[in-house]
Structure 1
Amino acid sequence: MTNKNYFSNLGLAMRAGKLVTGEESVLKAIRSGEAKLVILAEDAADNTSKKFQDKCRSYDVPLLVLGNREELGSSIGKEARVTIAVVDDGFARMLKKYRV
C-alpha cells in the first residue's frame, strides 16, 4: 500500500467516525480499551513519543509511527495532528497491514 492509499484509508476511517484524535482523547481510548491501533507522527516531541510508546506497550495496543503532523491532519480533513487512535477492528486491521 502506498502512502497516498494509506492516508486515503485514514480519511475514510475518519468519515466513518472510527478515529479519535487529540492527545488526551487518544490516551483515554487506550486506557478504556477502545483503541485498536495508535498512529503517531514522526515529528512528535520526544516526550510525547515516549509517553505513547510506553502507554501502548502497557495496554498492548499496536503503534505505528509514520508521516508528519501535517500529513496526518490533512488526511483526515483537520489541522495538524500528532496522535490518532483507530477504534474499529476492521479499519485497524486494514491500516496495520501497512509497513513503513
Structure 2
Amino acid sequence: MENNQKALNLLGLSLRAGALTMGEGLVLKAIQQQKVMLVLVAADASQATRDKFSAKGDFYHVPVITAFTKEAMSQALGRPRTIVGITNAGFARRLIALLKT
C-alpha cells in the first residue's frame, strides 16, 4: 500500500511537471506516435477499454499498468481521469519500479 501511495504522489508530480498525456483519444495517439513511456489504465475502466489499451501497448511496446481505481487516479490528479500516459522516461521508470514491488 505504501508504494501505491508513493506512485500516486509521483503521478501528481508528473502532472505538475507537464509529463502526462490524459484522455483516451490523446493517449492512444501518443502511443501510436511513441511519445509515451508508460500508460496507466484505471482498474475499474471497462473491460473493452482495458483490452484496447493492452493491445495497443503490446503492439507499440509500451507498458500498460492497471494499478489504481478511477477514484484514486482522479484524486491524485485533481480531475476525473481513467487513462493517463507518462511522457517522461524518468517518471515512467520510477512508477514501474514502485508498482512492481
TM-score by shorter chain over 0.5? yes
| Normalised TM-score (structure 2) | 0.93
Partner of 1:27: 28
Partner of 2:75: 74
State the 1:20 CA deviation. 0.7
**Does residue 96 in structure 1 map to residue 75 in structure 2?**
no
- Cα distance in 2 for residues equivalent to 1:10 and 1:73: 10
Give structure 2 stretches of 5+ with no counterpart. none
Cα RMSD (Å):
1.1
Number of matched pairs: 99
State the 1:89 CA deviation. 0.6
Q: Quick one: which amino acid aligns to residue 9 of structure 2?
A: S
Q: Quick one: which amino acid aligns to residue 33 of structure 2?
A: S
State the 1:2 CA deviation. 1.8
Percent identity between the two aligned chains? 35
> Helix, strand or coil for the counterpart of 1:33?
coil
Q: Quick one: which amino acid aligns to residue 44 of structure 1?
A: A
Give structure 1 stretches of 5+ with no counterpart. none
State the 1:3 CA deviation. 1.5
State the 1:76 CA deviation. 1.2
Q: Quick one: which amino acid aligns to residue 85 of structure 1?
A: G
Could you say which structure has the higher helix fraction? 2
Q: Quick one: which amino acid aligns to residue 90 of structure 2?
A: G
